Structure 1
Amino acid sequence: MTKIKDLKIYKATSKTSRKISDATHDISDISFHILEIVTDKEIRGQGYLLSFHYSPNAIKGALEDLKHFILEREYHIYETVKLKKDYKAETEYFGNPGLQRWALAVLNIAMWDAWGHQLEQPIWKILGGSKIKIPVYGSGGWLSYSEQELLEEVKDYKKRGFKAVKIKVGSENIERDVQRIKKVREAVGRDIKIMIDANQGLEVPEAIKLSKLAAEIGIHWFEEPILHNDFSGYEIIRRKTNIALAMGEREYNCTALKELIRRNAIDLWQPDIIRIGGVEEWKKSASLAILNNIPVLPHYYKDYDVPLLTTISKPYGAESFDWIDQLIDNKMKIEDGYIYPGERNGWGFKFKKEHLEEI
């Protein structure tokens, strides 16, 4: 069988990179780290993580530590579970959550990509998925945008066929958030769903106030209004308002999901495939959510999430940014509010060589 022979680490920056801000972050650079595995049969597989400008040396170090671990041993590209178990034992001393899990997840994704190329099949077929279309929403609406930039973005999403958009909230002045939501509603009309995301930037009383004001305008759901581990806060907000709550992108396991389910404090589960640890962990969390009638709406990585969403019952939707579209050789088809899994092998895309800087 095919064994991993080498790993290459790259960095790439989005062609649309610009300074943006949400309620808790000022982001200066939209960048990615890419891990490429090379097998003894010259089959290649890639995985990437969204790194922005944060901790580049730490990310590089985590990936290099993993590279040394892999190259000192022999792993077949299909041994994703075995490798994950071995590396978790190796990294336990400094903790599995965090960058070490990010690195492992990127490798996991690259192994699945290589396995897809080995089998000459797309991931969704390997995992038993169906060729179905997935609802998709356009994401952005950064707090750093001027009103004109905000409205241009949401109107562009509408023009491109999106039926839902998400914008950032969590300004120092709630009235600014309300006015931005109203302007977006006026710009896109009543046929487009609007969602809001505070990126953990509010306290419970503020979140309740904003929820009630936003509900009058017509908001589909509210993402991360408060700190992700304030479970009692989510319970209070959900009990005191009529707005649906979405959460999950910052979780490294299913602990938060279990607690929110126990408290009846979540409406939508948003696993991040990198943070949660790769394909198997993504599917495990999705199964738990579905078992408890919580729809699955993953965070950010549409090129991985859409193939995986085709494998679960009643997939709720995917999030879309355009950040890697100009860096890859095959972007997904989006039409009339839906995104479609492709027919190419593996995840269905590769980063173009001219955009990769080896590190």
Structure 2
Amino acid sequence: MRIVDFRITRFQFARDRVIGDSQVRADDAHVVALELIGENGLTGLGFAQSLFVPLPPEAEIERIFRFEVWPTLEGERPLALVHRVARPRGGNHRALTLPFHEAIQVALWDLAAKQAGMPLWQMLGARRDRIKAYASGLDFHLSDTDFAELFGRADALGYTAFKIKVGHPDFERDLHRLDLLKKLVRADAQVMIDANEAWSPKEAVVKLERIRDAGHALLWVEDPTLRNDFEGLRHIRHNATWTALNTGEYLDASGKRALMEAGAVDILNVHGQVTDVMRVGWLAADLGVPVSMGNTFLEVGVHCACALPDVEWLEYSFQNFDALVEEPIAIVDGIAMAPDRPGHGLELSEYARRELRRPDVLDRSELGAPPLSKPAAVSTAG
């Protein structure tokens, strides 16, 4: 089967809450769906998003994709492309104008698995079809009231692990949030914190000691200092041995390799680029480094998470993207379940095509009410 066509659909809608961390915040969703169409009519779906600025009009997105990407895909076989290894040289090694890298990989793998008639997790070699999900608030800019509502609801839905944002200029506020979380969730909950590079290495060690002395146990601290400060990360790892260091989120595949080889990580954080994740995951397994699956669009990372060894957790951050697909990834009692459908199991919804498509850039005042949040994240308890 060869790729013969593509389809671009632009979406823009209001989020149901402000999301962000110690460095950034976002109020709106700017998303484009990429559909790669095979000669037999099968379609592979991937998503690209811009966190902070609107994407160009749909016609311009299509023009850029046709010029920059389409020549590398047209007439090619998906099964060949997902495994192709090329040595980057000169001008051939450059960023795309728009953030299509992950969308292309996901769409190609979706199409390849559909051609094989297999769920993606099976095609990737997984022996399991489910993994624990932790509740991630993206909560830095929320009020205490909204913070309490979000994590209280997550606990009621059956989540047993929770990650909050820290790195506030007033460290007492970070401690306050940890105290508040402890009151909201079950007594045996596991807790992670994410500083998004807000601290220096020495500052991180001091603040982690204060967190421990305040009576808080942490499963991990995520990105406490700059991503490429391997010496600083090693300092944190060796001086805060009571918790694990989770990092690598902001590094590409080559950077993740260098991070692991430098001994500057306890748990490697990966995201949604399927080919890159599987290759880096193989190296992590060879080096004995556990992997965690960070945020992936519509939790498509569940497939890689199930396929890679030593992956215990998938991040779920309660973003209101589910209206984009007919059937989102199910999370029940804090367990994410990979779909038993060919491909990655996500299909663009007719509702999204009809109601959420925005060919042109809209002002925020024109977006209206946000789509509903995830209906599939449910609890069967009680």
- AA aligned opposite 2:235: I
Tell me what 1:48 maps to.
47
1:178-232 deviation per Cα after TM superposition (whole angstroms, max 9, x unaligned): 1111111121142111111111122223212221122331121111111111111
Q: CA deviation at 1:239?
A: 1.6
- AA aligned opposite 1:179: H
1:22-41 deviation per Cα after TM superposition (whole angstroms, max 9, x unaligned): 11112232332221111222
Tell me what 2:339 maps to.
342
Distance 1:64 1:185, change over 3 A: farther
Whether 1:205 and 2:198 are equivalent positions in the alignment is no
Tell me what 2:374 maps to.
none
Tell me what 2:287 maps to.
292
Does the Cα contact within 8 Å between 2:128 and 2:307 map onto a contact in 1? Answer: no
Question: CA separation in 1, counterparts of 2:139 and 2:12?
Answer: 19
Q: 5 Å matches for 1:1-359?
A: 2-13=1-12, 16-54=15-53, 56-57=55-56, 60=61, 63-70=65-72, 73-81=74-82, 85=86, 92-93=90-91, 95-96=93-94, 98-99=95-96, 102-215=99-212, 216-241=215-240, 242-255=242-255, 257-273=256-272, 278-301=273-296, 303-323=299-319, 324-352=321-349, 353-354=353-354, 355-358=356-359
Question: CA separation in 2, counterparts of 1:287 and 1:83?
Answer: 16
Aligned residues between the structures: 348
1:112-157 deviation per Cα after TM superposition (whole angstroms, max 9, x unaligned): 1112222322111222212332011011142110011111111111
Q: CA deviation at 1:283?
A: 0.7
- AA aligned opposite 1:231: F
Question: CA separation in 2, counterparts of 1:14 and 1:134?
Answer: 30
1:321-350 deviation per Cα after TM superposition (whole angstroms, max 9, x unaligned): 232222211122222331111111110011
Does the Cα contact within 8 Å between 1:18 and 1:30 map onto a contact in 2? Answer: no
Question: CA separation in 1, counterparts of 2:84 and 2:66?
Answer: 16
Question: CA separation in 2, counterparts of 1:266 and 1:294?
Answer: 8
Question: CA separation in 2, counterparts of 1:70 and 1:239?
Answer: 45
Does the Cα contact within 8 Å between 2:42 and 2:115 map onto a contact in 1? Answer: yes
Q: CA deviation at 1:82?
A: 6.8
Question: CA separation in 1, counterparts of 2:54 and 2:249?
Answer: 19
- AA aligned opposite 1:46: L
Q: Which runs of 5+ in 2 are unaligned?
A: 361-382
Question: CA separation in 1, counterparts of 2:37 and 2:130?
Answer: 32
Does the Cα contact within 8 Å between 2:160 and 2:186 map onto a contact in 1? Answer: no
Could you say what secondary structure the match of 1:194 adopts? strand
Distance 1:345 1:37, change over 3 A: same
Q: Report the more deviating stretch, 168-177 or 48-57.
A: 48-57
Tell me what 2:370 maps to.
none
Could you say what secondary structure the match of 2:78 adopts? coil
Question: CA separation in 1, counterparts of 2:218 and 2:13?
Answer: 30
Question: CA separation in 2, counterparts of 1:341 and 1:333?
Answer: 8
Q: Which runs of 5+ in 1 are unaligned?
A: none
Greater fraction of residues in helix: 1
Q: CA deviation at 1:285?
A: 0.7
Q: CA deviation at 1:19?
A: 3.0
- AA aligned opposite 1:331: P
Percentage of pairs with the same residue: 23
- Considering only aligned residues, what root-mean-square deviation do their CA atoms show, in Å? 2.6
Distance 1:57 1:232, change over 3 A: farther
